[in-house]
């Protein structure tokens, strides 16, 4: 049953198939659901009529995220404080509650950290997936949506990047995601009961329009948009633009930035496709449109009304000149198409920064 609690018109635009009121509500377990993408997906799934339970160990999420989600969806948020590496706990979770599908976000995601601590990344990202899939299989739950990444394309020369592009990796984080995809492929081949949606995200940015949830990286951010946001907020003096001599229109790196709420909608469509089609899919989630670093800085300066000083610096090792998705397969298989534009991405990010700073006194 669709509940138009907060009037977020955007959720209706993508044409969800709302769960019928007279059928049993489908229940979804969101591992890592208190994190950046997971929290936005929580809202989208609840708005689409699913009963959603978050499982998170809060290793990279604020403890008050469930309270903020509760304000957004207007009811209590069910949260299980647990680690996906804890098989005993997972067995208990699946024994206590019937789940129809699992969306698996829980993982470590910082590229630089993965280079310093590869074993921790392999354990959490690969070990977490294996433990979760074993617990699901033991409980008879065979529908899974998996967070993969455009990092599995490595430093790809083919543009736009189709799902059939050659796969590689440039760091332990990317390696862990590629191994996870292979594990999923082998598991699906071994047992036809599995239906899995593998979603390769490009560059998620922005925040929910309410300003209540968003990305909150600890310390100095590695990724572009959170860094720009901190410069706009006056917390950092300037941004270094990594490379001004790439073979791109203005010489700076080009990426496919996608609004996190579009990404969240993609998860709803993926879950619905698993239920409807009874078979899995592997798709890119991007817009198909690339923006340069300088275009991002200019758009954010406009949205925030702040100066964003920058200086051109040497290239970052391992960076591609340009990366953007071929989004057609996602459209064909699950009906996904990004709706929000660059202005929406920057405006929502800034609204989150301003509201969050007020709350934390930062
Ligand atoms: P995030 O760190 O904000 O969210 C991950 C969540 O998982 C956090 O709440 C963390 O506390 C939780 N978690 C981590 N390990 C756990 C464990 N062992 N048990 C239980 N909970 C655990 O990250 P995000 O940006 O929301 O990313 C979500 C997923 O999407 C990750 O799998 C990430 O690799 C993938 N991804 C992210 C991006 C991106 O740019 N943000 C791009 C491509 C793919
Ligand atoms: C990085 C990771 C990738 C990961 C993705 C999303 C690397 C090599 N790749 O990709 O594996 O999936 O994040 O988490 O780390 N830039 C600057 N100045 C900055 C920061 C970034 O100029 O301070 C530039 C980069 O050179 C790039 C663009 O901004 O051209 C986007 O960078 P970033 O947000 O880190 O994303 P990716 O490079 O796509």
**CA 56 – CA 46 distance, rounded (Å):** 17
**Given the CA of residue 201, which atom of ligand 1 is nearest to it?**
43
Distance 208 CA to ligand 1 centre (A): 17
Active site residues: 173
Give residue 356's pLDDT: 83
Distance 14 CA to ligand 2 centre (A): 29
Handedness of CA 242, 244, 245, 248 (dihedral sign): positive
Cα separations (Å) of 306 from 86, 229, 322, 343, 359? 46, 10, 27, 15, 20
Residues 6+ apart with CB under 8 A from 5: 47, 73, 74
Per-residue pLDDT of the chain (362 residues; tens, 9 = 90+): 233 333 232 233 334 444 444 357 999 999 999 999 999 999 999 999 999 999 999 999 999 999 999 999 999 999 999 999 999 999 999 999 999 999 999 999 999 999 999 999 999 999 999 999 999 999 999 999 999 999 999 987 799 999 999 999 999 999 999 999 999 999 999 999 999 999 999 999 999 999 999 998 878 898 999 999 999 999 999 999 999 999 999 999 999 999 999 999 999 999 999 999 999 999 999 999 999 999 999 999 999 999 999 999 999 998 999 999 999 999 999 999 999 999 999 999 999 999 986 666 54
Top mutation candidate among 34, 42, 61, 107 for ligand 1, by most atoms within 8 Å of CB: 107
Does the beta carbon of 172 sit less than 6 angstroms from any atom of ligand 1?
no
Phi, psi of 237 (to 5 degrees): -75, -35
Which among 183, 102, 186, 199 is positioned nearest to 142, based on CA atoms?
102
Beta strands in the chain (DSSP E): 27-31, 51-56, 78-81, 101-104, 143-149, 195-201, 203-205, 239-242, 254-255, 257-259, 281-285, 291-292, 310-313, 322-323
DSSP codes of every residue in 108-166: ---HHHHHH-HHHHIIIIIIHHHHHHHHHHHHT--EEEEEEEGGGB-S--SSSB-TTSP
Give residue 156's pLDDT: 76
Does the beta carbon of 153 sit less than 6 angstroms from any atom of ligand 1?
no
Handedness of CA 222, 225, 231, 234 (dihedral sign): negative
Strands 195-201 and 281-285: parallel
Give residue 357's pLDDT: 67
**CA 62 – CA 362 distance, rounded (Å):** 15
Which among 31, 159, 178 is positioned nearest to 104, based on CA atoms?
31
Structure tokens at 178: 């590629």
Report residues whose beta carbon is within 6 angstroms of any ligand 2 atom: 111, 149-151, 170, 173-174, 203, 222-224, 227, 239-242, 253, 255, 293, 316, 318-319, 323
Distance 151 CA to ligand 1 centre (A): 14
Distance 174 CA to ligand 2 centre (A): 13
292: β partners: 254
Angle, helices 128-139/87-96, rounded to nearest 10 degrees = 30
**CA 2 – CA 278 distance, rounded (Å):** 23
**CA 264 – CA 134 distance, rounded (Å):** 26
Three-state secondary-structure class, residue 81: strand
> Which residue has its alpha carbon closest to ligand 2 atom 5?
203
**Given the CA of residue 37, which atom of ligand 1 is nearest to it?**
26
> Which residue has its alpha carbon closest to ligand 2 atom 22?
241
Distance 136 CA to ligand 2 centre (A): 34
**Given the CA of residue 112, which atom of ligand 2 is nearest to it?**
15
**CA 189 – CA 223 distance, rounded (Å):** 36
Contact 99, 141 (CB under 8 A): yes
**CA 332 – CA 124 distance, rounded (Å):** 33
Phi, psi of 247 (to 5 degrees): -75, 60
Does the beta carbon of 59 sit less than 6 angstroms from any atom of ligand 1?
yes
Burial of 263 (0-12, 13-18, 19+ CB in 10 A): buried
């Amino acid at each position: 049953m669709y509940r138009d609690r907060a009037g977020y018109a955007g959720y209706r635009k993508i044409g969800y198939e709302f769960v019928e009121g007279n059928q049993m509500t489908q229940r979804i377990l969101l591992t890592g659901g208190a994190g950046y993408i997971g929290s936005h997906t929580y809202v989208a799934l609840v708005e689409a009529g699913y009963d959603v339970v978050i499982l998170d160990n809060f290793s990279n999420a604020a403890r008050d995220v469930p309270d903020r989600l509760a304000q957004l969806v207007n009811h209590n948020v069910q949260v299980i404080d647990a680690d996906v590496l804890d098989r005993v706990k997972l067995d208990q979770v699946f024994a206590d509650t019937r789940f129809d599908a699992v969306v698996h976000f829980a993982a470590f995601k910082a590229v630089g950290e993965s280079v310093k601590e590869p074993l921790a990344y392999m354990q959490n990202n690969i070990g977490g997936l294996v433990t979760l899939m074993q617990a699901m299989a033991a409980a008879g739950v065979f529908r899974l949506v998996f967070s993969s990444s455009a990092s599995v394309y490595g430093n790809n020369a083919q543009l736009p990047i189709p799902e059939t592009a050659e796969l590689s990796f440039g760091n332990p984080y990317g390696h862990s995601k590629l191994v996870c995809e292979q594990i999923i492929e082998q598991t699906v081949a071994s047992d036809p009961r599995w239906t899995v949606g593998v979603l390769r995200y490009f560059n998620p940015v922005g925040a929910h329009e309410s300003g209540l949830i968003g990305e909150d990286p600890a310390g100095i951010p590695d990724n572009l948009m959170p860094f720009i946001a901190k410069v706009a907020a006056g917390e950092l003096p300037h941004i270094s633009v990594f490379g001004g001599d790439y073979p791109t229109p203005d010489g700076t790196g080009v990426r496919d930035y996608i609004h996190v709420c579009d990404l969240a909608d993609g998860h709803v469509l993926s879950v619905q496709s698993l239920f409807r089609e009874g078979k899995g899919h592997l798709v890119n989630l991007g817009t198909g449109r690339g923006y340069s670093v300088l275009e991002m800085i200019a758009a954010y300066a406009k949205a925030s009304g702040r100066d964003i000083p920058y200086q051109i610096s040497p290239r970052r090792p391992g960076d591609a000149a340009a990366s953007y998705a071929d989004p057609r397969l996602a459209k064909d298989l699950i009906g996904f198409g990004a709706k929000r534009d660059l202005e929406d991405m920057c405006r929502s990010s800034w609204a989150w920064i301003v509201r969050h700073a007020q709350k934390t006194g930062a």
